Chain A
Amino acid sequence: MTVTERTAAPTGPAAPPPPPRRRRDERRPVWEEEPGRVGQGLKGATLAGVCLAILGPLWVVIVTSLSDQRTITDAGGLVIVPKTITFRAYTELLSGGTVTRATLVSLGLTAVGTVISTVVSVLCAYGLSRPGSFLHRPILMVLLVTMFFNAGLIPTYLLVTGVGLEGSYWSMILPGAVSVFNVLVLRAFFQNIAPELIDSARIDGAGDWRILFRIVLPLSKAVIAVVSLFYAVGYWSQWFNAMLYLNDQDKWPLQMILRQLVIKQQAPQGMSQMISTQQIPGLAVQMAVMVLALIPVAVLYPFVQKHFTKGMLTGAVKG
């Protein structure tokens, strides 16, 4: 609209051009119409609404976990506006006992699992990324087929219990240790590294191990960061394998405790006493466990977030 008005304006030598109603955004291409105010407003409101729908609940959860009993009673439950800040729920939860143990279990599983998965995937991806290497096509097929079928819950369960992993933390790591998708993402990235670099190293006498560690890995830090984040989040989020294979509540990871405490509304072993006798509001405890489940993701996320698109798309397009 503005464009047509401006060109239609009188162009007499004396008359200064009428000022445009609104300053035109310089980033907007010249041929594009200026959107109407209503449209702009709606767009902004939608985006703000979407962000609020995601961040709002997180805000309420965090604020409630930091509130004391009086604030919670005054608010009638969940707290939107913080009045007092107390870390009581956290200090109690993390000073030993069920939640402390579960948090450590989850952290340990995530650390060990992520290292194993990332190392195995990087090695596999490099091993399959050299053109024309022996057997790489059949092996690639073996990998690809697993993306389209899997044996299903029952056969996998029978195998894992059959090989005696039930009750062991390995049952939470090994069955899902290799994600073929991640291997393909890494492989696509490795194949894109300039072949001259690798060839010149080979001429200088470097073997595949040295090429991998000295040339390929330093060039692939971003994609490896993304892949390890995917793995880490996967291990951190696991609860189903724990439910299947870990009958002993003492071995449960944090997600299982969270499920028990909030979804099932039962205090896990060793927590009921704390909640009833120590005057910590049950609601704050629930929220604090939720925040504990959230923290590692929130901490890792900003570091890796900018690489997502690159990591996701190299794998998807080049697959």
Chain B
Amino acid sequence: MAKRARGAPAARGALAARGAPADRSAPPGPGTPPSRGTPTARTGWWHRLRRDRTLLLMVAPAVGLLLLFTYVPLLWTTVAFKDYDPFTQGLWTSPWVGLDNFGLLFEDSRFWDAFANTLSITFIQLVLFFPVPIALALLLNSVLSDKVRGLVQSILYLPHFFSWVLVITIFQQMLGGAGLLAQQLRAHGHEGFDLMTDPGVFKFLITAQLVWKDAGWGVIVFLAALSAVNQDLYEAAAVDGANRRRRMWHVTLPALRPVVALLLVLRVGDSLTVGFEQILLQRDAVGPGASEVFDTYVWWVGIANTDYGIAAAGGLIKGAFSLVLVLIANKVAHMLGEQGVYRK
């Protein structure tokens, strides 16, 4: 976001001169017509609009799409406070009901189950998923051969580009009731099993799926942080007698700390988001008891049962809760001396 004055003043002036009549009020002095880099009080907005109309035209489609599909839907969040039924009344005419939808939501035990499931899945993934990319990055960083490292990297990144449908079907073919593992066990006289429909292991199953799909991709950020470490530090430490383990502790890990802190803050702030598509795809197989999370609950109530008001209330609660979590997590990061998402 550099503010460098990049436009060549003369050229800018030439371009501006063929533009608006408002030009006359613009040039502050001989030979220094306004450039984009130095907006002054005298370059009026009308003039700047004329000058940059091409750029604005280029930006327009993207902004239009974002406004329509991200900002306009905010109007529909009011549904959370209304008795909204699209088949009888529209958005504007349906009656306000205050916080009734929230009351109904809090009375629903499935809501609280979904809440608990979500938080426990987040916790499991913080413990079992989060460290994996770091470990893989450290491992890869210690590989000397560029060829081997490149090969392993391209294999590691690949599953990130598979759709969740594909990942889950692959897991099903490996670990499901008719999957490879059960099939091999049966062939050798053991009992088969079906991990895909077992509610008891579901939370670990989806964590394993997440590791398979995205742990490799997560490595990129940490590898970049590692490659930014000044190699002289390692040499100096080694000369001073630090062994492998101590160099890791005193040089490598401190270099990773800001990245780890940032990603932790983001993950904690996103506690209520746990693999919506992934879990929705497997909801039928294991049943909602073990698999219902915040997002799938909202989907179930809103889309499947068309209780839009209650579902929108759930969505609002999620937004508010997430905001508070980000603020808290960031505060903690600041207290530990890290930068977090935003500066103090």
Contact = CB atoms under 8 A, between A and B. Distances in A.
Interface of A: 25, 27-29, 31-33, 35, 43, 46-47, 50-51, 53-55, 57-58, 60-61, 76-78, 80, 120-121, 123-124, 126-128, 130-136, 139, 142-143, 146, 149-163, 174-178, 180, 183, 191, 195, 198-199, 202-203, 205, 207-209, 212, 229, 233, 236-240, 244, 255, 258-259, 262-264, 286-287, 290, 293-294, 297-298, 301-302, 305, 308-309, 312-313, 316
Contact of B69 (A57, A139, A159, A199): A159
Interface in B131-173: 136, 139-140, 142-145, 148, 152, 154-159, 161-166, 168-170, 172-173
A239 B165 contact: yes
Main DSSP-derived SS at the B contact region: helix
Contact of A127 (B58, B166, B318): B58
Given A123-B62, A199-B8, A208-B58, A297 B220 contact: no
14 contacts: A33-B243, A131-B5, A146-B70, A150-B70, A151-B70, A154-B308, A155-B77, A159-B69, A191-B2, A202-B7, A237-B164, A293-B163, A301-B158, A308-B220
Given A152-B315, A154-B311, A258-B166, A132 B61 contact: no
A153 B144 contact: no
B295 interface: yes
Contacts of A195: 4, 6
Given A180-B66, A312-B220, A127 B56 contact: yes
B300 to A, nearest CB: 11
Given A50-B156, A237-B164, 13 more contacts: A50-B216, A76-B187, A124-B59, A126-B58, A131-B6, A134-B56, A142-B63, A155-B312, A178-B62, A239-B277, A290-B166, A302-B154, A305-B157
Given A158-B76, A263-B282, A120 B69 contact: no
Interface in B197-239: 212, 216, 220-221, 223-224, 231, 234-235, 238-239
B168 A263 contact: yes
Q: How large is the interface on B (under 10, 10 to 19, 20 to 34, 35 or more residues)?
A: 35 or more
A157 B238 CA distance: 59
Residue among A35, A152, A229, A309 with the most chain B CB within 10 A?
A152
A230 to B, nearest CB: 9
B165 A313 contact: no
Given A54-B158, A124-B63, A262-B169, A159 B73 contact: yes
B339 interface: no
A261 B2 CA distance: 52
Given A131-B36, A313-B224, A154 B173 contact: no
Interface in B234-252: 234-235, 238-239, 243-244
Contacts of B253: none
A244 B207 CA distance: 26
B335 interface: no
B216 to A, nearest CB: 7
B180 interface: yes
Contacts of B323: 149
